Amino acid sequence: MRLLVELSARAAYAYQNDWHRKLAGRIWQALRDTPYDDRHDNGEPPGFVFSNPFPPEDAAAGDSRHLLVASPDEELLAYVADDLQRDRELNVGEMPLYVDRLAPLSTDVGEPGSEGTLETGTGVLVRIPPERCPDYGIDHPQGEDGDTAVYWRPEHTMEPFRTQIENNLDRKHGLYAPDHLPGPSDRSGDLFDGYDLLKTFAVPVGVTDRKRLTYVLSKWRFEYTVRDDHHRRHLNLALDCGVGERNSLGLGLLNLPKPDEDETEPATSRATSEESTEAQRVE
């Protein structure tokens, strides 16, 4: 499920690339003193993901903007919605916004046999643990004794990307799905039928008040055919929780464009599919 937040600019602003942590702070504020407060900085996927304020461009006072927050937990989204209704000023760094309207959105990849495409709305972060680098034939940049994770790049081939994405979704399934249901790796077949890499790029992200990291991210178009009800559930979990790492910073959001070109959900899906042009491309 998703929460669509319709916004307007309270004043003119220049779009900021470092929206990730500032927007995350407002969402965690909404979850403070709720049953979800203990998810903050606990090292586990948070069970939600969100978009950048989009479209990602400079704004004049009064311009319309949008925000999406997704989660498999409707109660979590209700807490976020309640906070945004009570305090309608939404300041994302130097981008002063006002919450005009909130609306729930339902997303579903479709019944078994359905075919479709999922597009990454924000960059996907995949890090390969150093101990797995030899398995994939990856030379660690720090040598054989390197102890840091390696950002996935196209030259690393698709195997580590697919494996890390599935392992990450397994982790989310273990946290936010019923225990008796099989996770993605318990079922045969790939999560997606096709992986169309659109681009890789580097973007600086503030991860704490004093620490900034430059993440290597990737943008994708994933094709799928729903094999059965379990596969449908796994794909919908990816829609609700995001793919890859650092979803709590808004990374890994997926969108489900509709084929009928209806201008409600597809417009938001397409708008979130492009990051700022100032991000550095990684060849």
Closest residue by Cα to residue 274 from 258, 253, 248: 253
Closest residue by Cα to residue 161 from 118, 137, 195: 195
For residue 141, CA distances in Å to 3, 132, 199, 262 come to 41, 14, 22, 47
Alpha carbon distance 232, 181 (integer Å): 13
- Report strand pairing: 254-255 vs 115-120: antiparallel
Alpha carbon distance 1, 4 (integer Å): 10
Alpha carbon distance 245, 125 (integer Å): 5
DSSP string computed for 205-222: EE-SSS-EEEEEEEEEEE
Alpha carbon distance 250, 216 (integer Å): 14
Q: Name the helix (H) or strand (E) containing 33.
A: none
The answer to whether 41 is a known catalytic residue is yes
Alpha carbon distance 226, 26 (integer Å): 35
- Residue 21 and residue 205 in contact, taking contact as beta carbons nearer than 8 Å: yes
Catalytic hit among 37, 41, 58, 228: 41
- Residue 70 and residue 239 in contact, taking contact as beta carbons nearer than 8 Å: yes
The catalytic residue positions are 41
